[in-house]
Structure 1
Amino acid sequence: MTPTADGWIEGAPVQWTRGRIKNLIASATNGTWGDEPAEDGSDVRCIRAADFDRVGRRAKVDGAPLRSIDASSLRQHLLHPGDLILEKSGGGEKQPVGMAVLYEGAEKAVCSNFCSRISPASEVDSRFLTYVFAAAYGQGLTQSAIKQTTGIQNLDAGAFFSSPWAYPESEDQRRIADFLDAETARIDRLAKHDQKLLGLLGERRKAVIDHEVDASSRLLTKLFWKLSVLRDGTHQPPPRVDLGVPLLTARNVSGGDLRLTDLDTHVSEDDAKLLEKSLRMMVGDVLLSVKGTIGACAVAPAGFPRSVLDRNVALLRPLPEYSSEWLAFVLRSTGLQDQMRISVTAAAQPGLPLGVIRELRVPDVPLSEQEGRVDRISARCREIDQVVDRVKRKGSLLSERRQALITAAATGQFDVTTASGRNVTDGVSA
């Protein structure tokens, strides 16, 4: 059982020291953003929260931006192997601020001003401290120390560091870290294999669609001749309101479904009525992303909540002779995706103009043939989706098992010397 925030301490091994997280820390120094790169060979990497490996809890140095840091500031902020980097500002609803990663790099680097450099206390193993921070994050200790301001989460590091904790001597710290390094690596190998499998299943899904679309491409016609409506949403977005009619954007359009959970932007009822005078979404309309993930599309299903469209989404309403489901599959095929990709405008933010959409070449086949091909694609995709769901459930179980293992070991729930070699992935199979 995963312990609560500090209820586990009484049950920790009797030889462990009772104290606070701050007893494991020598210093905590806020990071720096520095200046624009000098490009004279003196620039150093500046590690941000975006450069965190959030699974392995390690800092990714290679992708971190180069910044110019003056000599005095560099002496104060320079990261040393074994330091931790704590995100103290940022985060979000699904990813609270407060995660910490271990820095193991050999090159000169600092952390950004949204982070803190944490130096372990003497006789504290830096890997063990990383697992302590991971356990604390999983228990919600960092979340309880968050102060929310203007949509940004800020960690009250002092409150977090004052959290009660129990910890062993340095030799046992290293033993726990060695055990967790080995066991989490085993879990991570399984997770990596599953990610590869998900990629292959995605390719298989695309191959099923491509097979049916390519086989129907004996005769092609312009997409425009198969549509009764081709419009995009408003180009002058009205003011946003907290409650009102949802504004559907490109992020709501994914590979086959409209994501209802992301309908978090709204316009007023009066503004919605004005927009609907020129364009009202109907069941069976095909919605196509023309900005961002260009080419992503979905069919508006029955029961979808009333919404209005922004300018990043195009609405395609097929004629009765052209199935909405068939059109969506055609648009997701490799051939049509290639047509859209090579036609994207070379602007600051690439987009897909309506003039390009109307010229797309699509198969011109009878409705009965469309319906047969849709049935075959749907049946095969359902089979693939069932496997995808099983793999994703396994991934969730592995993630939960990983966190539970870290918490149990870092809080002394079991003796790792007797746990070595046990199969921590038992019961987690596809």
Structure 2
Amino acid sequence: MREKLKLHCDVISGYAFSSSDWKEEGIPVIKIGNISNGSDIDCDELQYVDEFFWDKLDPKYHISNGDILVSLTGSHINQPNSMVGRSCRSLTEKKYLLNQRAGKVIPFDNTDKNYLYYLLSTKAIKYDIANRAYGGANQVNVSPSDIKNIKWKFPLIEKQKKISGILLKYDELIQNNNKRIIQLEDIAQELYREWFVRFRFPGYENAKFEDGIPEGWKIKRMNEFCYVTDGTHDTPKPVDVGVPFVTGRCISSGFVDFDAAYNISEADHEGIKKRSGLKSGDILFSNIGTVGNCCIVDYNREFSVKNVIIFKPETMRDTAYLYYWMTSSIMQEIFSAQTNGASQQFVGLTFMRRYKLLVPKDDILEAFADKVLPIVEQKRLLHQKNLNLDAQRDMLLPRLMSGKLEV
């Protein structure tokens, strides 16, 4: 028998912080923009409030590991990456607080928390939420009671746990792969710092230094080191089937997140392609909004870009050095300083073309590439495994939840 969700969970909206509450640091607050269309919270653009709010506010506004979140405000169904009803869960021990219009789903004792999360991840529930939304052309809202009035045929909790247990195995493998990707990245970053920040590169003991840099190394402008361009300045209309349109927000953890992109027509893509001419080994750098996210292009599928600067080194050797130069903590501090105080963070194409970087001798570049390119490849393979696991889980999800696949 179909039952309303309110018999299985509560849904609350977050606390209404005032504009004067926001601080440069403290407890991070999860807003609707931080609720991703996936398994974990999007922490790219967090805002903070004073630490005392943690004790001041009702614990229902606390977000802990495993808590389920749902966006109560968003766009219509035709924009799935920002649509109302997106859901995710916290996969970290970090403490967060919940902002208004960001919803928290609290299961009752008769319902398995993981089953409830996967239920909210189904298209059936997402579309049911979106169809109950009200508002204007660009933004719609749902209330907690709207969600709680949705009906579903809930199995007994023992079966709920069996279903969620199958799906959890996929997510656990994905999380383990993500941890390995982070470990590999840390190894490569530490090697970069050792060679190019501390100057303990091979043969450093016998190296001569001139004006604080090793002899034979050169200071070059970026456009002397590689070709630098950017993506389109237009915003093509989305289509149901077409070519992915990737913006700077789609660059995450060193990869392109195609799930965060929308599709554009082949004709629009061909016009943009002439400008960007993407190829494997190019580096994408997000330069508007969330500045400084980078990835190396693995161009095994067509896509167009906006709100990115594109760096085109001539060789993978140069790509390896430039990528870790751009993702080093020192460079991230420079990018942050460049954007402080602006209403919207932005690093311009001219600035990046003129920016100067230290370029080591060819033999050092070759030696560094020999060390880190295998790491880049291992990261790519792990990321591809995650995409495959994602696809397999998403194929099983509706069949398990609907009961078409028995457990």
TM-score by length of 2: 0.54
Does residue 384 (structure 1) correspond to residue 372 (structure 2)? The answer is no
**Alignment partner of 1:360: what SS?**
strand
Does residue 223 (structure 1) correspond to residue 223 (structure 2)? The answer is no
**Alignment partner of 2:124: what SS?**
coil
CA contact (8 A) 1:299 1:325 kept: no
CA contact (8 A) 2:248 2:306 kept: no
Q: Deviations over 1:53-80 (max 9, x none)?
A: 97599xxxxx9857999xxxx99x9779
1:374 to 1:253, Cα distance in 2 relative to 1, 3 A: farther
Which residue matches 1:199?
182
Tell me which amino acid in the other structure corresponds to 2:319.
A
CA contact (8 A) 1:295 1:337 kept: no
Quote how far apart the aligned CAs of 1:264 are.
5.9
Structure whose CA Rg is larger: 1
CA contact (8 A) 2:251 2:286 kept: no
Which residue matches 1:93?
80
Same amino acid, percent of matched pairs: 10
1:336 to 1:219, Cα distance in 2 relative to 1, 3 A: farther
Gaps of at least 5 residues in structure 1 are 1-17, 58-62, 415-430
Equivalent residues, number: 351
Quote how far apart the aligned CAs of 1:296 are.
2.9
Does residue 134 (structure 1) correspond to residue 117 (structure 2)? The answer is yes
Tell me which amino acid in the other structure corresponds to 2:180.
L
| Partners of 1:295 and 1:116 in 2: CA distance | 29
Quote how far apart the aligned CAs of 1:308 are.
8.4
**Alignment partner of 1:227: what SS?**
helix
| Partners of 1:343 and 1:116 in 2: CA distance | 37
Mapping 1:145-224, distance limit 5 Å: 145=128, 146-147=130-131, 150-152=137-139, 154-155=141-142, 158=146, 161-166=149-154, 168=156, 173=157, 192-204=175-187, 214-215=201-202, 219-224=216-221
TM-score by length of 1: 0.51
1:365 to 1:240, Cα distance in 2 relative to 1, 3 A: same
Mapping 1:63-102, distance limit 5 Å: 87-90=71-74, 93-94=80-81, 97=85, 99=87
Which residue matches 2:331?
340
Which residue matches 2:292?
294
Tell me which amino acid in the other structure corresponds to 1:363.
P
Quote how far apart the aligned CAs of 1:20 are.
1.9
Quote how far apart the aligned CAs of 1:220 are.
0.7
Gaps of at least 5 residues in structure 2 are 42-46, 204-213
Q: Deviations over 1:289-317 (max 9, x none)?
A: 37344373657979977x7876x52656x
Which residue matches 1:361?
358
1:30 to 1:264, Cα distance in 2 relative to 1, 3 A: same
Does residue 330 (structure 1) correspond to residue 330 (structure 2)? The answer is no
Q: Deviations over 1:3-46 (max 9, x none)?
A: xxxxxxxxxxxxxxx2422571697676663645679xxxx998
Does residue 113 (structure 1) correspond to residue 101 (structure 2)? The answer is yes
Quote how far apart the aligned CAs of 1:165 are.
2.0
| Partners of 1:308 and 1:112 in 2: CA distance | 32
| Partners of 1:52 and 1:309 in 2: CA distance | 20
Does residue 242 (structure 1) correspond to residue 242 (structure 2)? The answer is no
Q: 1:125 aligned to 109, 113, 127, which one?
A: 109
Q: RMSD value over aligned CA atoms?
A: 6.6
Q: Which has the higher contact order (CA 8 A, sep 6+)?
A: 1
Q: Deviations over 1:187-206 (max 9, x none)?
A: 77665543322222333455
| Partners of 1:52 and 1:247 in 2: CA distance | 18
